[in-house]
């Protein structure tokens, strides 16, 4: 096991990190019991091994990274989702599918506390990440977002150079080490290095849409998160760019967990290990619409042998 823990990689800047660090379990070496969620230090240690060229250890496979219990979100008085209980496996790709307005993105944004930023949004239930409830009062949402990367529907590069786009995350979290190396590593992992290595100083707005989205992925990877949340990352892209991002996802899966919201069922079938089907539930008065999870299973089961009629109707294209 590598000795560097996450808190060593990311320097403490003005005590910002302390709150989450204290609340996460202490690094305890190889004491991970089967079925228990893997501790942050374990995940990070295995990342270190990978960096040194040692193959990723299988430790932690089959374990949970996220365990969500009865998650519900209110926007004002409107309930957007309710009773979402899902757990996501370590180094697995989980797809969230369902018709528009069923709360997939809302749920995704609960996982890194991005919903905190929406005025009037209120999150209930528990989102347990490596054994720690992310909505516990002592948790600082900024620290949560440092560990859980996110890629948005529309590529949103900063109006800066390619280099500065990637370096922004490491700079704000105060990562140590050679920034050039950090940027190169992130761009290599984002499958973009070969295309941009000679024009790192150029403005990111000059890239194609697909390149911009891979830049956003590389940017999210630069701070070494162990989860990547992707909110319909390919919906604004052409099929070729989509294919490249899907390839990239299966590579990234070697080291990190991915939760992806997608409208494209073929994409869910291609890239994910597990799939959760969300649907809209109309209230009795037929006025308010609330998202619920209908079925959650291995992707193959969802697409070939779903147990719920609504899932079957959706995946066969009868509605949605």
- What residues line the site for other proteins (CB under 8 A)? 16, 112, 114, 117, 119, 142-143, 145-147, 149-150, 152, 154, 156-160, 168-169, 172-173, 216, 219-220, 223
Among residues 152 and 193, whose Cβ is nearest to other proteins? 152
State the minimum distance, in angstroms, from the CB of residue 83 to other proteins. Answer: 26
- CB–CB of 133/125 below 8 Å? no
Residue whose CB is less far from other proteins, 198 or 201: 201
Strands 87-89, 257-261: pairing kind = unpaired
What is 118-137 written as a DSSP string?
Answer: STTEEEEEEEEETTEETTST
Q: Which C-beta is closer to other proteins: that of 49 or that of 154?
A: 154
For β-strands 132-133 and 121-129, DSSP reports them as antiparallel
CB of 245 to other proteins, least distance (A): 17
CA distance readout (Å), 59 to 7, 56, 67: 21, 9, 19
User: Could you give the CA distance from residue 150 to residue 287 in angstroms, rounded to a whole number?
Assistant: 32
Report the nearest approach of other proteins to the CB of residue 253 (Å). Answer: 20
The 10 Å Cβ neighbour count of residue 264 is 16
Q: Which is nearer to other proteins, 50 or 160 (CB)?
A: 160
Cα 248 from Cα 186, distance rounded (Å): 12
Least distance in Å: CB of 142 to other proteins? 5
Between CA 209 and CA 214, with CA 210 as vertex, the angle to 5 degrees is: 115
In this complex, which beta carbon is closest to other proteins, that of residue 57 or of residue 203?
A: 203
Task: Output the smallest distance, CB 156 to other proteins, in A.
Answer: 4
């Amino acid at each position: 096991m590598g000795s560097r823990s996450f808190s060593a990689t990311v320097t403490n800047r003005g005590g910002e990190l302390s709150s989450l660090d204290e609340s996460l379990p202490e690094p305890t070496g190889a004491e991970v019991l089967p079925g228990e969620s893997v501790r942050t230090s374990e995940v990070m240690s295995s990342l270190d091994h990978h960096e040194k060229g040692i193959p990723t250890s299988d430790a932690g496979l089959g374990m949970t990274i996220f365990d969500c219990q009865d998650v519900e979100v209110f926007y004002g008085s409107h309930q957007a989702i309710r009773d979402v209980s899902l757990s996501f496996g370590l180094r697995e790709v989980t797809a969230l599918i369902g018709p528009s307005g069923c709360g997939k993105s809302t749920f995704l944004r609960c996982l890194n506390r991005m919903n905190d930023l929406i005025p009037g949004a209120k999150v209930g239930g528990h989102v347990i990440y490596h054994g720690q409830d992310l909505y516990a009062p002592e948790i600082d949402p900024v620290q949560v977002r440092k560990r859980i990367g996110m890629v948005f529907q529309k590529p949103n590069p900063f109006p800066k150079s390619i280099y500065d786009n990637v370096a922004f995350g490491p700079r704000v979290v105060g990562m140590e080490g050679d920034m050039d190396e950090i940027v190169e590593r992130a761009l290599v992992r984002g499958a973009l290095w070969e295309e941009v290595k000679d024009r790192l100083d150029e403005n990111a707005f000059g890239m194609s849409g697909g390149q911009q989205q891979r830049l956003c992925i590389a940017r999210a990877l630069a701070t070494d998160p162990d989860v990547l949340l992707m909110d319909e990352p390919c919906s604004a892209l052409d099929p070729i760019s989509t294919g490249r991002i899907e390839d990239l996802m299966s590579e990234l899966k070697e080291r990190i967990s991915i939760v992806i919201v997608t409208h494209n069922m073929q994409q869910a079938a291609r890239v994910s290990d597990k799939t959760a089907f969300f649907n809209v539930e109309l209230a009795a008065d037929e006025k308010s619409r609330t998202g619920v999870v209908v079925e959650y299973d291995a992707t193959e089961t969802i697409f070939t042998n779903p147990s719920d009629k609504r899932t079957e109707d959706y995946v066969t294209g009868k509605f949605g």
